[in-house]
Amino acid sequence: MSRQLAAELPDFPWDTLEPYKKVAQAHPDGIVDLSVGTPVDPTPAMVREALTAASDAPGYPQTWGTPDLREAVAGWFARRRGVPDVDPDGVLPTVGSKELVAWLPTLLGLGVDDVVGIPAVAYPTYDVGARLARATPVVVDGLAAYGPQTTATRPKLLWLNSPSNPTGAVLGAAHLAKVVAWARANGVVVASDECYAELGWTDAPVPSILDPQVCGGSHEGLLAVYSLSKQSNLAGYRAAFVGGDVALVRRLLEVRKHAGMIVPWPVQRAMLAALGDDAHVAAQKQRYAGRRTSLRETLERAGFRIDASEAGLYLWSTRGEDAWASVAWLADRGVLVAPGTFYGAAGAQHVRVALTATDERIEAAASRW
């Protein structure tokens, strides 16, 4: 990365939390770190066994992934997401989902004259990915934004994130269908980050961009991104995939082959095992449900209101004050959270509180106010 490009990227936001982390660490009972959504529970045994069994891997793996892995992803879409028609040729394993988010604009050939649409409150890597490609990130917020635009302002790539990180909001099928219709009429690729789709907390569905109700049965111009990090505690494996438009996936594949962007063979085998077992996903969700209930009650007792948070691993919380004031108040009680400003100006009065701590640490947080 050139010095100029590095200078153009925003500071890594979590570095600014260090002073508050030190305050939280000074608590007599230790820190309860709820600032990052990193899993803390064990990786399922059958996934680790699959990794071990594939550890003798002297040759190069396939960039595209093995046929059985791509078929397993297609089967997962049908079984878990209500998408019965994913073509295995339109599936590609990736080295975690953040890698794909960061490099998708570049992989699609976007550059200095192009625009990437991102949500108003969003995972920072959507913005960073546009900048890495020398494209321009532009906030596109709500259906009202999908109207007549000039070539100069219309995005080449539009990111959706449902369920949202950080807010936990879920976009319904009708909303998504309108976005898809607009995108197709304007030649815009839609990439939907759906990494928290297995963690819905209401009876309402969590539709995929590839759902027939959304896309009319055609995946043209659409990509769905998913990670096994959260559902299977595989963040350390960097195990994810993208699926959708076969032509777009082939474009990504050609560049990735040249760049050596390959998921290691043992990880591909571990992914295959994880995708074939729904029981461990249900068990992990149950663990998070208990932590979510406890944390929500704790925050509400402390005067926080929980907004959205219909799905995912976070409670989007506010006391109607500056986010950093909430961060400081919680740090004084040994609890570290992320300010909403990390995710855009619209998050200035919210904090993101992760469910990713052990039961013991969640109970410790509950006892502090």
* Same fold yes or no, 3-42+280-366 and 45-277: no
What pLDDT score was predicted for residue 15? 83
Task: Give the SS3 label for residue 313.
Answer: coil
What pLDDT score was predicted for residue 13? 74
Over its C-alpha atoms, the chain yields an Rg (Å, rounded) of 20
Mean pLDDT by 10 residues, the chain (369 residues): 59 84 96 95 98 96 96 98 97 97 97 95 95 94 58 84 97 96 96 97 96 97 98 97 98 96 97 98 98 96 97 98 98 97 95 96 88
Handedness of CA 21, 24, 30, 36 (dihedral sign): negative
* CATH of region 3-42+280-366: 3.90.1150.10
Instruction: Report how far residue 355's alpha carbon sits from residue 34's, in angstroms, rounded to the nearest whole number.
Output: 7
Please give the structure tokens belonging to residue 286.
């149950």
To 5 degrees, how large is the angle CA 337–CA 310–CA 296? 45
The structural domains of the chain, with segments of one domain joined by +, span 3-42+280-366, 45-277
What pLDDT score was predicted for residue 143? 55
| 266 close to 57: Cβ distance less than 8 angstroms | yes
Topology of domain 45-277 in CATH is: Aspartate Aminotransferase; domain 2 (3.40.640)
Q: Got the DSSP string for 61-129?
A: PPTT--HHHHHHHHHHHHHHSS-TT--GGGEEEEESHHHHHHHHHHHTT--TT-EEEE-SS--THHHHH
Instruction: Report how far residue 348's alpha carbon sits from residue 328's, in angstroms, rounded to the nearest whole number.
Output: 14
What pLDDT score was predicted for residue 12? 73
What pLDDT score was predicted for residue 147? 56
What pLDDT score was predicted for residue 150? 55
| 164 close to 119: Cβ distance less than 8 angstroms | yes
What pLDDT score was predicted for residue 225? 98
